[in-house]
């Protein structure tokens, strides 16, 4: 996956001079188009710098990022941490995961939390550049990729689980046989393994590059295969973190909705409630992920054909990439609402958790109030009969 707010567009040789936030801040004055790429041993013969008649100044793009990205990341962090932490707290109180869906939801909350925890680093980078060293650059970049991909794949797993729960006859298929409660650990292990595999290039290639006035955390590709590696990574990321989950979600929920429409009329109210929830899930996924993946596709085309040759177009795409990737990140704040809080069973768990928490607080208050109790028997004839109890 790409970094927060569009780094990889800059790293990958896109002619959006600052498409990713992680690198967006590093585009100072574009004396030539190759500052967009700025890789060690980069092959300048791949691009025709004479196509640029004037220098493309990106100060307005960076100024926008310095305000927009920290605000969006800050709000996402607060909302996402609250929702996903509550999910984990409720499941921890329940003390067991009853269904395969429960397992997926817990892993989804963990992935979203880890993704959200990278946002303060990218917010700081948007404001002042990367000042945290190369080790953190590699770790934070890889964590972003791993957890974003993991989150998308888990959403696909949740849709498959709902599909098989409504069509048990299909459980004889290969996917149906592995979507069982006793296989939950193996399924989640596969998801995390695939996600970690996608994070390896970021872990290996990410470096801190120095530009006039600031530093950048970005991927530095070997010049001999820069275009091939960049395009391959973008295509794989689009497939695994968007296209495959989207197709699985659309297929599963289409058949689920069609099955629900066949229910008898007496179940109409519950049926339409469920359908509205499923439509919201699909709608939110498409609205938050589709725009950003369109930008990634444009970036792939630009890497191959160097399509963007005008400063105004480059700036517009920079802004669009920042906004669309920030929109894609909002999904991790909405997951607790879409997949957990709407469900009646989880609402019951939340109420039980809140009740138990309230009872513990009241008990703690009583202990504080009555922890020390002093009583004197003033009517006693002998001082030996006075009592002091704790």
Q: How far is CA 336 from the centre of its chain?
A: 12
Q: Residue 327: which domain range?
A: 7-355
Confidence (pLDDT) at 381:
45
Pick the most confident of 93-102, 103-112, 265-274, 332-341: 103-112
Could you tell me the pLDDT band of residue 75, with boundaries at 50, 70 and 90? Answer: very high
Q: Please report, rounded to a whole number, the percentage of residues in the chain having pLDDT higher than 90.
A: 36
Is residue 388 included in any domain, yes or no? no
Confidence (pLDDT) at 2:
47
Question: How far is the C-alpha of 310 from the C-alpha of 127, rounded, in Å?
Answer: 26
* Average pLDDT of the residues of the chain: 77
Looking from the CA of 143 toward its CB, the CA atoms found within 13 Å total 19
206-211 vs 214-219, strand pairing mode: antiparallel
Confidence (pLDDT) at 364:
67
**Tokens 């990737």 appear where?**
325
Confidence (pLDDT) at 91:
84
Average pLDDT estimate for 282-304: 90
pLDDT tens digit string along 48-69? 444 444 567 778 888 898 999 9
pTM for the model stands at: 0.77
Could you tell me the pLDDT band of residue 147, with boundaries at 50, 70 and 90? Answer: very high
Nearest partner of 208 among 1, 5, 7, 382, judged by Cα:
7
Task: Check which CATH number belongs to the domain holding 41 and give it.
Answer: 1.20.1070.10
pLDDT tens digit string along 113-142? 999 999 999 999 999 999 999 999 999 999
Could you tell me the pLDDT band of residue 356, with boundaries at 50, 70 and 90? Answer: confident
Confidence (pLDDT) at 71:
95
C-alpha distances in Å from residue 255, one per residue of 154, 160, 167, 177: 19, 11, 9, 19
Is residue 386 included in any domain, yes or no? no
Token pair for 265: 């009329």
Is residue 128 included in any domain, yes or no? yes
Range in 36-45, 85-94, 114-123, 174-183 the model is least confident about: 36-45
Range in 117-126, 140-149, 365-374 the model is least confident about: 365-374
Range in 39-53, 103-117, 199-213 the model is least confident about: 39-53
Average pLDDT estimate for 1-14: 42
Could you tell me the pLDDT band of residue 3, with boundaries at 50, 70 and 90? Answer: low
Could you tell me the pLDDT band of residue 24, with boundaries at 50, 70 and 90? Answer: very low
Pick the most confident of 26-40, 57-71, 278-292: 278-292
Is residue 381 included in any domain, yes or no? no
Does residue 270 register a pLDDT over 60? yes
Question: How far is the C-alpha of 299 from the C-alpha of 16, rounded, in Å?
Answer: 8
Is residue 366 included in any domain, yes or no? no
Is residue 119 included in any domain, yes or no? yes
Could you tell me the pLDDT band of residue 15, with boundaries at 50, 70 and 90? Answer: very low
Contact 60, 32 (CB under 8 A): no
CB within 8 Å of 308: residues ≥ 6 apart: 14, 15, 16, 302, 314, 317
Could you tell me the pLDDT band of residue 345, with boundaries at 50, 70 and 90? Answer: low
Question: How far is the C-alpha of 261 from the C-alpha of 255, rounded, in Å?
Answer: 10
What is the domain count for the chain? 1
Does residue 387 register a pLDDT over 60? no
| Burial class (CB within 10 angstroms; exposed 0-12, middle 13-18, buried 19+) of 3 | buried
C-alpha distances in Å from residue 104, one per residue of 69, 86, 111, 158, 343: 30, 16, 10, 7, 15
């Amino acid at each position: 996956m790409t970094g927060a707010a569009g780094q990889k567009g800059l790293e990958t040789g896109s002619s959006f001079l600052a498409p990713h936030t992680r690198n967006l801040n590093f585009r100072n004055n574009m004396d030539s188009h190759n500052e967009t790429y700025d890789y060690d041993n980069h092959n300048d013969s791949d691009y025709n710098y004479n196509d640029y008649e004037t220098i493309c100044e990106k100060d307005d793009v960076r100024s926008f990022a310095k305000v927009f990205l920290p605000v969006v990341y800050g709000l996402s962090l607060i909302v996402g941490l609250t929702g996903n932490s509550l999910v984990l707290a409720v499941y921890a109180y329940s003390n067991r995961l009853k269904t395969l869906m429960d397992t997926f939801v817990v892993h989804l909350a963990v992935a979203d939390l880890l993704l959200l925890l990278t946002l303060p680093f990218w917010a700081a980078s948007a404001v002042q550049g990367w000042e945290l060293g190369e080790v953190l650059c590699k770790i934070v970049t890889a964590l972003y990729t791993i957890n974003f991909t993991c989150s998308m794949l888990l959403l696909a797993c949740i849709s498959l689980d709902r599909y098989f729960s409504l069509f048990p006859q299909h459980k004889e298929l290969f996917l149906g046989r592995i979507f069982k409660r006793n296989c939950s650990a193996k399924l989640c292990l596969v998801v995390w393994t695939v996600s970690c595999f996608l994070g390896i290039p970021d872990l290996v290639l990410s470096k801190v590059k120095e530009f006039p006035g600031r530093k950048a955390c970005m991927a530095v590709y070997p010049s001999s295969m820069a275009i091939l590696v960049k395009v391959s990574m973008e295509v794989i990321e689009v497939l695994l973190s968007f296209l495959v989950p989207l197709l699985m979600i659309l297929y599963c929920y289409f058949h689920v909705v069609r099955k629900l429409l066949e229910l008898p009329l007496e179940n109409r109210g519950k049926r339409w409630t469920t359908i509205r929830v499923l439509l919201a899930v699909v709608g939110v996924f498409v609205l938050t992920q589709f725009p950003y993946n369109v930008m990634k596709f444009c970036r792939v085309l630009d890497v191959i054909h160097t399509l963007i040759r005008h400063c105004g177009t480059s700036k517009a795409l920079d802004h669009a990439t920042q906004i669309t990737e920030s929109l894609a990140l909002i999904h991790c704040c909405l997951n607790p609402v879409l997949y957990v809080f709407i469900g009646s069973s989880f609402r019951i768990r939340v109420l039980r958790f809140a009740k138990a928490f309230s009872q513990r607080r009241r008990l703690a208050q009583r202990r504080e109030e009555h922890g020390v109790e002093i009583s004197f028997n003033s009517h006693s004839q002998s001082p030996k009969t006075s009592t002091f109890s704790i």
